[in-house]
Amino acid sequence: MNTVPASVSAGLLILRLVAGLTLAAHGAQKAFGWSGGAGLAKTVASYQGQGLKPGWLWAGLAILGEIGGGLSVAFGFLTPLGAAGMVGAMVMAIFKVGWRNGFWNSKRGYEYPLLLLASAVTIGFTGAGAYSLDTLLRIHLPLDVFLALAIAALITDVIGLSISGRAASVSKPA
């Protein structure tokens, strides 16, 4: 029996839909060039240029985290996996792009990815709520699944940041 109040599940549904679909749309810009996005070839080249080599791997991970994670969270299907994917994508966005530009999104800062990161962590900890495919299909993944996958995503981010930082420092003349 679900003891979570309907208002909490409704709030989680709104949060999941807005955060998940927003991030999935952002990933679609990277993958398909929708709504003025770069598209896959330019996204791969951009990642390669940032020192994330091979570019196709890192672009693929970003797109998977954004589209796959976003849709998973929006629909509340295998929610811990999607939330962890969102965590990985947003931590990389914060530290690879946003951090050096400061907080405000108007200056390409980390405001936007931080909000999506907080949403993903919240959903990862709380679960999808009653109005989700997880509940409908009786999928009950424990918090440990989210924590393990989020840690794996963070380790992947550290590897990527290390690789790209090392590549950037090697390519600059002394």
What pLDDT, on a 0 to 100 scale, did the predictor assign at position 166?
Answer: 59
Among 25, 35, 173, 147, which Cα is nearest to 80's?
Answer: 147
Q: What is the mean predicted confidence (pLDDT) over 16-30?
A: 98
Dist. CA 29–CA 37, nearest whole Å = 4
Segment 155-161 long-range contacts (CB within 8 Å, at least 24 positions apart)? 156/61, 156/88, 157/88, 157/91, 157/92, 157/95, 160/52, 160/58, 160/61, 160/92, 160/96, 161/92, 161/95, 161/96
What pLDDT, on a 0 to 100 scale, did the predictor assign at position 169?
Answer: 45
What pLDDT, on a 0 to 100 scale, did the predictor assign at position 3?
Answer: 75
What pLDDT, on a 0 to 100 scale, did the predictor assign at position 165?
Answer: 83
Task: Give the confidence band of 174 by pLDDT, cuts at 50, 70, 90.
Answer: very low
What pLDDT, on a 0 to 100 scale, did the predictor assign at position 2?
Answer: 57
Residue range 98-139, pLDDT digits in tens: 999 999 989 999 999 999 999 999 999 999 999 999 999 999
Note the Cα 89 to chain centre separation in Å: 3
Domain ranges of the chain: 6-163
Residue range 86-102, pLDDT digits in tens: 999 999 999 998 999 99
Task: Give the confidence band of 4 by pLDDT, cuts at 50, 70, 90.
Answer: confident
| C-beta atoms surrounding 147 within 10 Å | 14
Among 60, 91, 63, which Cα is nearest to 153's?
Answer: 91
Q: What is the mean predicted confidence (pLDDT) over 78-87?
A: 98
| C-beta atoms surrounding 6 within 10 Å | 11
Dist. CA 168–CA 48, nearest whole Å = 11
pTM score of the predicted model: 0.91
Size (the chain), residues: 174
Residue range 140-160, pLDDT digits in tens: 999 999 999 999 999 999 999
% of residues, the chain, pLDDT over 70: 94
pLDDT beyond 50 at 173: no
What pLDDT, on a 0 to 100 scale, did the predictor assign at position 88?
Answer: 98
